[in-house]
Structure 1
Amino acid sequence: MWLFVYFDLPTETRKERKVASEFRKMLIKDGFTMFQFSIYLRFCPSMENTEVHARRVRKHLPEHGKVCLMKFTDRQFGMMELFYGQKPQRNDKPPQQLEIF
Protein backbone atom coordinates (compact mmCIF):
# COMPACT_ATOMS: atom_id res chain seq x y z
CA MET A 1 0.00 0.00 0.00
CA TRP A 2 1.02 3.60 -0.57
CA LEU A 3 -0.11 6.35 1.76
CA PHE A 4 -0.23 9.85 0.27
CA VAL A 5 -0.55 12.98 2.40
CA TYR A 6 -1.75 16.07 0.52
CA PHE A 7 -1.81 19.34 2.40
CA ASP A 8 -2.37 23.04 1.95
CA LEU A 9 -1.27 24.91 5.06
CA PRO A 10 -1.30 28.67 5.62
CA THR A 11 2.14 30.34 5.52
CA GLU A 12 1.27 34.02 5.86
CA THR A 13 2.85 34.59 9.27
CA ARG A 14 6.07 33.41 10.86
CA LYS A 15 4.09 31.17 13.25
CA GLU A 16 2.15 29.57 10.36
CA ARG A 17 5.39 28.88 8.46
CA LYS A 18 6.84 27.24 11.57
CA VAL A 19 3.75 25.02 11.99
CA ALA A 20 3.91 23.99 8.30
CA SER A 21 7.62 23.26 8.59
CA GLU A 22 7.11 21.15 11.71
CA PHE A 23 4.38 19.17 9.95
CA ARG A 24 6.73 18.45 7.02
CA LYS A 25 9.51 17.43 9.41
CA MET A 26 7.13 15.06 11.22
CA LEU A 27 6.23 13.41 7.91
CA ILE A 28 9.89 12.96 6.98
CA LYS A 29 10.71 11.59 10.44
CA ASP A 30 7.89 9.05 9.98
CA GLY A 31 9.42 7.82 6.71
CA PHE A 32 7.49 9.85 4.15
CA THR A 33 9.19 11.13 1.00
CA MET A 34 8.37 14.39 -0.74
CA PHE A 35 6.60 13.71 -4.03
CA GLN A 36 5.79 17.36 -4.70
CA PHE A 37 6.11 20.35 -2.39
CA SER A 38 2.90 19.65 -0.47
CA ILE A 39 2.47 15.97 -1.33
CA TYR A 40 4.32 13.31 0.64
CA LEU A 41 4.12 9.56 0.19
CA ARG A 42 5.15 6.44 2.05
CA PHE A 43 5.22 2.77 1.10
CA CYS A 44 3.63 0.48 3.68
CA PRO A 45 3.84 -3.32 3.45
CA SER A 46 0.25 -3.89 4.66
CA MET A 47 -3.08 -2.17 5.23
CA GLU A 48 -2.54 -2.43 9.00
CA ASN A 49 0.81 -0.65 8.71
CA THR A 50 -0.81 1.99 6.50
CA GLU A 51 -3.35 2.67 9.22
CA VAL A 52 -0.59 3.01 11.85
CA HIS A 53 1.05 5.80 9.83
CA ALA A 54 -2.30 7.42 9.00
CA ARG A 55 -3.06 7.59 12.75
CA ARG A 56 0.30 9.28 13.35
CA VAL A 57 -0.51 11.91 10.73
CA ARG A 58 -3.97 12.46 12.25
CA LYS A 59 -2.37 12.90 15.67
CA HIS A 60 -0.16 15.75 14.35
CA LEU A 61 -2.71 17.63 12.23
CA PRO A 62 -2.13 21.39 12.24
CA GLU A 63 -4.93 23.55 13.67
CA HIS A 64 -5.45 25.40 10.36
CA GLY A 65 -5.21 24.32 6.74
CA LYS A 66 -6.30 21.29 4.77
CA VAL A 67 -4.81 17.80 4.95
CA CYS A 68 -5.92 14.81 2.87
CA LEU A 69 -4.84 11.17 3.32
CA MET A 70 -5.20 8.79 0.38
CA LYS A 71 -4.36 5.10 0.22
CA PHE A 72 -3.36 3.39 -3.02
CA THR A 73 -2.56 -0.22 -3.69
CA ASP A 74 0.80 -0.98 -5.22
CA ARG A 75 -0.97 -1.83 -8.48
CA GLN A 76 -2.80 1.52 -8.57
CA PHE A 77 0.44 3.35 -7.82
CA GLY A 78 2.13 1.48 -10.68
CA MET A 79 -0.51 2.72 -13.13
CA MET A 80 0.28 6.38 -12.35
CA GLU A 81 1.67 8.38 -15.25
CA LEU A 82 4.40 10.86 -14.32
CA PHE A 83 5.70 13.61 -16.59
CA TYR A 84 8.57 16.04 -16.18
CA GLY A 85 8.03 18.50 -18.98
CA GLN A 86 6.83 16.34 -21.88
CA LYS A 87 8.95 13.28 -21.13
CA PRO A 88 7.25 10.42 -19.27
CA GLN A 89 9.14 9.13 -16.23
CA ARG A 90 9.07 5.62 -14.78
CA ASN A 91 7.40 5.06 -11.42
CA ASP A 92 9.64 4.13 -8.52
CA LYS A 93 9.37 0.47 -7.64
CA PRO A 94 8.32 -0.25 -4.06
CA PRO A 95 11.18 -1.02 -1.68
CA GLN A 96 11.98 -4.63 -0.85
CA GLN A 97 9.96 -5.85 2.10
CA LEU A 98 12.15 -7.16 4.90
CA GLU A 99 10.92 -9.84 7.26
CA ILE A 100 12.31 -10.12 10.75
CA PHE A 101 11.72 -13.34 12.62
Structure 2
Amino acid sequence: MSYRFMRVMILFDLPVLTNEDLKTYRQFRRFLLKSGFIMMQESVYTKLALNNTVANSVMESIRKNKPNKGLVQMMLVTEKQFSRMEFVTGFGQTEYIDNDERLIDL
Protein backbone atom coordinates (compact mmCIF):
# COMPACT_ATOMS: atom_id res chain seq x y z
CA MET A 1 0.00 0.00 0.00
CA SER A 2 1.31 3.40 -0.95
CA TYR A 3 1.00 6.24 1.52
CA ARG A 4 0.49 9.77 0.34
CA PHE A 5 0.26 11.90 3.43
CA MET A 6 -2.32 14.65 3.17
CA ARG A 7 -3.06 17.65 5.35
CA VAL A 8 -6.64 18.74 6.07
CA MET A 9 -6.82 22.43 6.94
CA ILE A 10 -9.88 23.94 8.59
CA LEU A 11 -10.28 27.71 8.59
CA PHE A 12 -13.28 29.19 10.34
CA ASP A 13 -14.85 32.43 11.43
CA LEU A 14 -17.78 31.91 13.77
CA PRO A 15 -19.93 34.57 15.42
CA VAL A 16 -19.41 35.05 19.17
CA LEU A 17 -21.96 37.77 19.92
CA THR A 18 -24.38 35.80 22.10
CA ASN A 19 -23.97 33.11 24.75
CA GLU A 20 -25.39 30.58 22.28
CA ASP A 21 -22.80 31.66 19.69
CA LEU A 22 -20.01 31.21 22.23
CA LYS A 23 -21.31 27.76 23.14
CA THR A 24 -21.39 26.74 19.47
CA TYR A 25 -17.85 28.08 18.95
CA ARG A 26 -16.52 26.13 21.96
CA GLN A 27 -18.30 22.94 20.86
CA PHE A 28 -16.88 23.14 17.33
CA ARG A 29 -13.37 23.88 18.58
CA ARG A 30 -13.60 20.99 21.09
CA PHE A 31 -14.80 18.71 18.29
CA LEU A 32 -11.76 19.63 16.18
CA LEU A 33 -9.33 18.96 19.05
CA LYS A 34 -10.96 15.62 19.92
CA SER A 35 -10.76 14.68 16.25
CA GLY A 36 -6.98 15.12 16.29
CA PHE A 37 -6.66 18.59 14.80
CA ILE A 38 -3.84 20.85 15.96
CA MET A 39 -4.22 24.61 16.13
CA MET A 40 -1.83 26.41 13.78
CA GLN A 41 -3.12 29.82 14.73
CA GLU A 42 -6.41 31.20 15.94
CA SER A 43 -9.24 29.67 13.90
CA VAL A 44 -6.85 27.66 11.69
CA TYR A 45 -6.49 23.94 12.47
CA THR A 46 -4.72 21.12 10.64
CA LYS A 47 -4.74 17.36 10.75
CA LEU A 48 -2.37 14.90 9.15
CA ALA A 49 -4.07 12.10 7.20
CA LEU A 50 -2.49 8.91 5.93
CA ASN A 51 -3.94 9.21 2.43
CA ASN A 52 -6.68 10.80 0.37
CA THR A 53 -9.31 8.29 1.53
CA VAL A 54 -8.69 9.09 5.20
CA ALA A 55 -8.65 12.83 4.42
CA ASN A 56 -12.03 12.58 2.68
CA SER A 57 -13.43 10.76 5.71
CA VAL A 58 -12.15 13.52 8.00
CA MET A 59 -13.70 16.16 5.76
CA GLU A 60 -17.05 14.34 5.77
CA SER A 61 -16.93 14.32 9.58
CA ILE A 62 -16.44 18.09 9.54
CA ARG A 63 -19.44 18.49 7.23
CA LYS A 64 -21.60 16.48 9.65
CA ASN A 65 -20.48 18.52 12.68
CA LYS A 66 -20.43 22.01 11.19
CA PRO A 67 -22.02 24.91 13.05
CA ASN A 68 -25.21 26.41 11.65
CA LYS A 69 -23.87 29.97 11.48
CA GLY A 70 -20.53 31.42 10.45
CA LEU A 71 -17.94 30.48 7.87
CA VAL A 72 -16.07 27.15 7.84
CA GLN A 73 -13.65 26.37 5.02
CA MET A 74 -11.67 23.20 4.31
CA MET A 75 -8.58 22.77 2.21
CA LEU A 76 -6.76 19.57 1.34
CA VAL A 77 -3.05 19.73 0.51
CA THR A 78 -0.31 17.16 0.25
CA GLU A 79 2.23 16.94 3.04
CA LYS A 80 4.89 18.03 0.55
CA GLN A 81 2.94 21.21 -0.25
CA PHE A 82 2.32 21.85 3.44
CA SER A 83 6.00 21.44 4.29
CA ARG A 84 6.85 24.20 1.80
CA MET A 85 4.90 26.75 3.85
CA GLU A 86 7.01 29.83 4.41
CA PHE A 87 6.95 31.59 7.76
CA VAL A 88 7.21 35.25 6.79
CA THR A 89 7.18 36.38 10.40
CA GLY A 90 6.92 34.42 13.63
CA PHE A 91 7.54 30.72 13.95
CA GLY A 92 5.69 27.40 14.06
CA GLN A 93 4.74 25.53 17.19
CA THR A 94 7.30 22.97 18.26
CA GLU A 95 5.40 21.49 21.23
CA TYR A 96 3.82 18.77 19.09
CA ILE A 97 5.12 16.25 16.61
CA ASP A 98 3.21 17.58 13.62
CA ASN A 99 4.57 15.51 10.76
CA ASP A 100 4.44 11.91 9.55
CA GLU A 101 6.55 10.78 12.54
CA ARG A 102 3.45 10.93 14.72
CA LEU A 103 1.86 8.21 12.56
CA ILE A 104 4.71 5.76 13.12
CA ASP A 105 4.28 3.38 16.05
CA LEU A 106 7.69 2.69 17.57
> Smaller-chain TM-score range?
0.7 to 0.9
Runs of 5+ in structure 1 lacking a partner? none
Q: Does the CA-based 8 Å contact 2:9-2:47 persist in structure 1?
A: yes
Equivalent residue of 2:69, what SS? coil
Question: Segments of 4+ in structure 1 off by > 3 A?
Answer: 88-93
Identity, in percent, stands at 29
Equivalent residue of 1:27, what SS? helix
Equivalent residue pairs, number: 96
Residue 20 of structure 1 is matched in structure 2 by: 25
Distance 1:95 1:18, change over 3 A: same
1:30 equivalent to 2:35? Answer yes
What TM-score do you get using the length of structure 1 for normalisation?
A: 0.86
- Structure with the largest fraction of strand: 1
Higher-RCO chain (CA-CA 8 Å, sequence separation at least 6): 2
* CA-based RMSD: 2.0
What TM-score do you get using the length of structure 2 for normalisation?
A: 0.82
Corresponding residue to 2:57 among 28, 33, 52: 52
